[in-house]
Amino acid sequence: DAGVTQSPTHLIKTRGQQVTLRCSPKSGHDTVSWYQQALGQGPQFIFQYYEEEERQRGNFPDRFSGHQFPNYSSELNVNALLLGDSALYLCASSTRTGVSYEQYFGPGTRLTVT
Partner 1 sequence: EDKVVQSPLSLVVHEGDTVTLNCSYEVTNFRSLLWYKQEKKAPTFLFMLTSSGIEKKSGRLSSILDKKELSSILNITATQTGDSAIYLCAVEPNNAGNMLTFGGGTRLMVKP
Shorter beta-carbon distance to partner 1: residue 15 or 57: 57
Angle CA 19–21–24, to nearest 5? 165
Paired sense of beta strands 109-113 and 10-13, if any: parallel
The answer to whether residue 88 forms part of the interface with partner 1 (CB under 8 A) is yes
The answer to whether residue 103 forms part of the interface with partner 1 (CB under 8 A) is yes
User: d(Cα 101, Cα 114) in Å, to the nearest integer?
Assistant: 36
User: d(Cα 11, Cα 26) in Å, to the nearest integer?
Assistant: 23
Query: Which position among 8, 16, 27, 96 is part of the footprint of partner 1 (CB under 8 A)?
Result: 96
Q: How far is CA 46 from the centre of its chain?
A: 7
Distance in Å, CB of 69 to partner 1, minimum: 19
User: d(Cα 74, Cα 64) in Å, to the nearest integer?
Assistant: 13
Which positions from 37 to 66 touch partner 1 by CB under 8 A, shown as an x/- string?
A: ---xxxxxx--x-x----xx-x--------
Shorter beta-carbon distance to partner 1: residue 14 or 100: 100
Could you list the residues that contact partner 1 (CB under 8 A)?
Answer: 4, 31, 33, 35, 40-45, 48, 50, 55-56, 58, 88, 90, 92, 94, 96, 98-101, 103, 105-108
